[in-house]
Chains A and B, each alone.
Chain A
């Protein structure tokens, strides 16, 4: 899907607005002719209406009338353009937000979450604004410039030529500067980026820099870069400063040429003084329009870059394709979740998950041990079907994931992630997220077993206590306890804790795990970096560099899995 699809049904308006804008331009182009008539007919001794006050008043009123008509036409354009572009922005953001939700989290990670957020908060507005300017301004400058040229030719062929040449040269000057400066702007920007990163270093590294007595070196380095910035800016200024004088000079040169033509007898040149005054007006108008146009080009090129980004994002398609089989019932002790030689690559040389076999029987508790980069998060993404394996397969109750609906699989799993994903709202909103209509007893037991009750009960407003965005008003341990409560409250049959107790002290960690194991009808997957946290599980998988390097109970692994043994010993030494 492309971003401009959001304009559907609006095309007539998109065309209508600029056409109305032309009315304003025509009004502006007529004015010089009226002025010429006043001078040549009303004020010159050989004019047809020489000395007639009525004629002067009538023509002047025409000028005022044209100003009003142009203003009216423009305001209609502005209204339509505002309406169409903001409606467009509204739909565009809706589409982007929908797309964010339709991609799986792994797919969004691959695209980049902050990039996606930028599409919503910045690119959509920049494209909307581009459309707005397109409708309002794009027609004005070229039409006014071309119109001025045509009008000048109507007034006088030679003068018209002078106008064409002057305006063409102005356009060339502006175009050259526009084409040449972006690279220079880039250079200035990169110096500025360097300055920013140096200043970040200087502030965040205050202690380290002082401890090494490096203050003067850092100041020296900064001065070097700020000189570079100064020189690059100066150079850019040297070029930018050309636009004003050159366009001014060229337009006035054309005026001089027109006068020169006029200095021949009227019979030879055909240029009346009224025409000369009119041409002067036309030239001034189109120069202003041209400069406006150059600014427009800069903004439009920004909007175009946004459009490309938006199109690329909107045309992404989720690779997770739903099947149509219903979720099977699984008896106690029978395989619930399985992975069979699952492989997944993120494009690098090595596999993120390398031929992993995994099994969770209903009612079991399983431990997964592994460090950063060992592939445990990827394995969890596979189990939740946020991503499908490149090779091998996953099964729910013996049925391949590919023939099931992703939402059905996910509805069986409550996962507590390392990241504290809390929403602005109340404690209750957050805990009952997966089970909004739960009864009070369910809520309370979830809070109790996760030890969240300890601090929630201390709030005067209890479970209605507000939670800020991202849980900013909670400590790390409190956040983790609420997340565990949320998972418990959802009453889903499979519970996954992904290093979810790292911010709890050792005693609370143990207590929470004991509480969870006491709950009925829960199959548990515990993921941890601490061997001590998972040593009581029915089966432990040890992951390293994406592969399973050991499976078994704690005692078995101590015997035959060196990594497990090393880790355990380092942690209890």
Chain B
């Protein structure tokens, strides 16, 4: 119940429509169920030889019109409400993702976050809006049917009511068995998919080592398991429709038997029972089971939806990123310092250990060291994606924690190793940080970044839609990111070099693009290829979170220490 309450804010503004839709449902079901009653009366008139049934027919016409119109309004309004809820919920959740702390996004599985935004919210619509509507409609229909049935003949109605649990038991039995077989089936299918995936990705190995025959034999075994599970599951599932039809037809048969018997034997049960009433009763019993099945279907949707709603709610209720900074950094950054930084992503962990640095305006600072030494973490701290446990960065002497994040970040441009492109055109990607840039400016930036040449070779040039999974190579993506920063021309540049898989020509282009990017700027480079930082003003060598050597290239080589060893090993 508490869970459902959390849905209320999303229904705000739709309350009148919700009430109306319940009304539409009740009216359409009532009209629909009244028709057999009227036709029963008409049958009685005909049986008695009274052929003047004009009134009945006009009533029926009216009812079918009302039934149709309200039915349409009901179906439509339920969709409208659902779509509104979906929109509000998605907008809220997406905004939450963009306002959450980076640590939160980092700690989550990205696929799962998207799953919540897309599939889970859809489940909420199917279950809690459409499903709830169906449950309500079904309940009303059962209720109204029972009212008519009891009104027509309580004894027959009791018979039907007594038989209801039987059918519920039958469908319960079938669906429990089904669930078991389906679980088995999807497990076996999972095996098959995994085997197929492995074979397809490793095809060269299979072919070059001549393993096709052997693999086909193993596949046949896996496939046989799937076939067995498949057969059991599909045969088990195929009991559902015939099973419920059988129960329904049995109820129908029994109603005829007892109904006709009551009339023929002229049993006095305290109410009159006529042929017309029997015909109404037959129609009701024919439709009696339908709402039960519909409720059962919808109920499982509702169940799923509650889980999904909880998953969505969990995200929406997570805290936003707090920005305690109040100072606007209006002036240009004249000095940038790091004072005794200490940091770990979890308690007790020490990724950065007493890191201090003084950066002169316009200098190029390089960070080098083995994987996992904490180089990239420095960028996280400088951008305030994470905050250090002790110490801090100082911009113009102000502790960066006191500066508004928005203001701080507007002075910095960064290119990360994990290059990121939005799913949009090349043009828009380059102008991502500066949407007002003219096309000429964009092209000029691309040229400076040595990206113009390959962009023009793309199918639609600057209008080609790219993204993280498009066919661009890692190096090409990084060139685009460099162009983005060149266009933005920030005061400070942060650069995390890509490590591998860059082809030769792009690598050469990148080296000069980086030079262009950092020309005359204060810059901090995380370097993996030591040859690219020979011209840095100052090089910090890190190991296990600590600065172990520092100086310019010549000084470090002269020391003949850790840096010199690293550098020489790259030339072997």
Chain B hits for A229, CB < 8 A = 86-87
Given A246-B68, A248-B71, A372-B506, residue A51 in contact with residue B264 (CB < 8 A): yes
Task: Report the Cα distance A81→B264, complex, angstroms.
Answer: 44
- Nearest-neighbor residue (CB-CB) of B507 within chain A: A570
Tell whether A210 pairs with B409 under 8 Å between CB atoms, given A44-B275, A417-B204: yes
- Who on chain B is nearest to A406 by CB? B207
Residue of B nearest to A407 (CB): B210
Contact of B275 among A79, A128, A244, A273 (CB under 8 A): A273
Q: CA separation between A351 and B473, bound complex, in Å?
A: 20
Q: How far is the CB of B219 from chain A (nearest CB, A)?
A: 5
| Any A CB within 8 A of the CB of B526 | no
Residue in B closest to A32 when the chains form the complex, CB atoms: B282
Closest 10 A/B residue pairs (Cβ): A371-B503, A237-B79, A60-B257, A372-B503, A67-B249, A241-B75, A78-B238, A371-B504, A245-B68, A249-B68
Main secondary structure of the interface of B (DSSP, over half): helix
Q: Which of A100, A202, A422 contacts B97 (CB 8 A)?
A: A202
Picked from B72, B219, B413, B420, the residue with its CB within 8 Å of the CB of A242 is B72
Which residues in window 44-95 of A have CB below 8 A to B?
Answer: 44, 51-53, 56-57, 59-61, 63-64, 66-68, 70-71, 74-75, 78-79, 81-83, 85-87, 89-90, 93-94
Q: Indicate which residue in B84, B245, B383, B433 contacts A214 across the interface (CB closer than 8 Å).
A: B433
Identify B211's interface contact among A196, A199, A262, A433, CB under 8 A: A433
* Bound complex: CA A35 to CA B253 (Å): 9
A206 touches B571 (CB 8 A): no
Known: A237-B80, A417-B205. 4 other contacts (CB 8 A): A83-B235, A207-B383, A241-B72, A276-B43
- The answer to whether A117 and B196 have CB atoms under 8 Å apart is yes
Taking CB atoms, residues of chain A closer than 8 Å to B246 are: 67-68, 70-71
Q: Is A284 an interface residue (CB 8 A)?
A: yes
The answer, yes or no, to whether B216 is at the interface (CB within 8 Å) is: yes
B279 near A202: Cβ-Cβ < 8 Å: no
Give complex CA distance A493, B56 in Å: 95
Nearest chain B CB to A326 CB, angstrom units: 16
Q: Mark B297-313, 1 if CB is under 8 A from A, else 0.
A: 00000000000000000
21 CB-based A-B contacts, threshold 8 Å: A60-B253, A68-B246, A79-B235, A97-B223, A101-B203, A113-B203, A207-B383, A211-B409, A212-B488, A222-B95, A237-B79, A245-B75, A273-B43, A273-B279, A277-B282, A410-B208, A410-B209, A419-B204, A423-B205, A469-B194, A507-B572
Cα distance A476–B199 when bound, in Å?
A: 20
Contact present for B409 and A213 (CB under 8 Å): yes
B105 interface residue per 8 A CB criterion: yes
A528 to chain B, nearest CB (A): 10
Q: In the complex, what residue of chain B is closest to A201 when comparing beta carbons?
A: B422
A281, B192: Cβ atoms closer than 8 Å: no
Partner of B76, one of A75, A218, A238: A238
Q: What residues of A have a CB within 8 angstroms of the CB of B508 in the complex?
A: 566-567, 570
By the criterion CB–CB under 8 Å, are B531 and A43 in contact? Answer: no
Give CA–CA (A262, B205) in the complex, Å.
Answer: 78
Q: Chain B interface: which size bin?
A: 35 or more
Query: Is B334 engaged at the interface, CB distance under 8 Å to the other chain?
Result: no
Q: Tell whether B42 is near chain A: CB-to-CB under 8 Å.
A: yes
Of the candidates A90, A532, A566, the one whose C-beta lies within 8 Å of that of B224 is A90
Q: Which of B64, B94, B118, B205 contacts A421 (CB 8 A)?
A: B205
Contact B235 A78, beta carbon cutoff 8 Å? yes
Determine if B473 and A213 form an interchain contact, defined as CB atoms under 8 angstroms apart: no
State the interface size on chain A (CB cutoff 8 A). 153
How many pairs of A and B residues are in contact by the CB < 8 Å rule?
413
In the bound complex, residues from chain B placing their C-beta under 8 Å from that of A200 are: 110, 114, 423, 468
Report B-chain residues with C-beta under 8 Å of the C-beta of A116: 200
Q: Is the CB of A226 within 8 A of B91?
A: yes
Is A500 part of the contact surface with B, judged by Cβ < 8 Å? no
Which residues 176-216 in A have Cβ within 8 Å of B in the complex?
192, 195-215
Q: Which of A263-293 contact B (CB under 8 A)?
A: 263-265, 273, 276-277, 280-281, 284
Q: How far is the CA of A506 from the CA of B567 in the complex (A)?
A: 10
B532's nearest neighbour on chain A, judged by CB, is A573
* In the complex with contacts A85-B234, A410-B208, A120-B473 CB distance below 8 A: no
- Measured in the bound complex, the distance between the Cα atoms of B410 and A468 in whole Å is 45
The answer to whether B256 and A38 touch across the interface, beta carbons within 8 angstroms, is yes
**Residue B363 CB within 8 A of the other chain:** no
Q: Shortest distance in angstroms between B89's beta carbon and chain A's nearest beta carbon?
A: 10
Which of chain A's residues has its CB closest to B494's CB? A211
Interface string of B530-572 (1 = CB under 8 A from A): 0100100000000000000000000000000000000001111
In the complex, which residue of chain A has the Cβ closest to the Cβ of B98?
A215
Report how far A388 CA is from B437 CA in the complex, Å: 49
Alpha-carbon distance A234/B72, docked complex (angstroms):
13
Contact of A206 among B83, B102, B198, B504 (CB under 8 A): B102
Q: Is the CB of B192 within 8 A of A255?
A: no
Q: Which of B232-288 contact A (CB under 8 A)?
A: 234-235, 238-239, 242-243, 245-246, 249-250, 252-254, 256-257, 260-261, 263-265, 275-276, 278-279, 282-283, 286-287
A273 to B94, CA, bound (A): 62
Interface residues of A in 368-405 (CB under 8 A from B): 370-374, 384, 386
Which of B5-13, B44-52, B152-160 contacts the other chain?
B44-52
A212 and B64: CB pair below 8 A? no
Docked CA distance A573–B507 (Å): 13
Contact B64 A256 (CB under 8 A): yes
A146 at the B interface (CB under 8 A): no
Q: Does A108 contact B (CB under 8 A)?
A: yes
A64 lies within 8 A of B253 (CB): yes
Within 8 A of A (CB), among B170-196: 189, 192-194, 196
CA distance A138 to B534 in the complex (A): 75
B455 on interface, CB distance cutoff 8 Å = no
For B208, give its contact among A51, A415, A509 (CB under 8 Å). Answer: A415
Residue of A nearest to B102 (CB): A206
CA distance A61 to B75 in the complex (A): 40
A253 within 8 A of B: yes
Decide yes or no whether A529 CB sits under 8 A from chain B. yes
Taking the complex as formed, is B332 at the interface, i.e. its CB lies under 8 A from any CB of chain A? no
Give the docked Cα–Cα distance between A85 and B235 (Å): 11
Q: Point out the residues of chain B lying under 8 angstroms from A240, CB to CB.
A: 75, 79
Task: Decide: A230 near B210, CB < 8 A? Known: A205-B420, A245-B68.
Answer: no
- Chain B proximity of A120: nearest CB distance (Å): 4
Is A484 positioned at the interface, with any CB of B under 8 Å from its CB?
Answer: no
In this assembly, does A307 line the interface, its C-beta being within 8 Å of a C-beta of chain B? Answer: no
Chain A residues with CB below 8 A from B505, complex form: 371
CB of B163 closer than 8 Å to a CB of A: no
Cβ of A259 < 8 Å from any Cβ of B?
Answer: yes
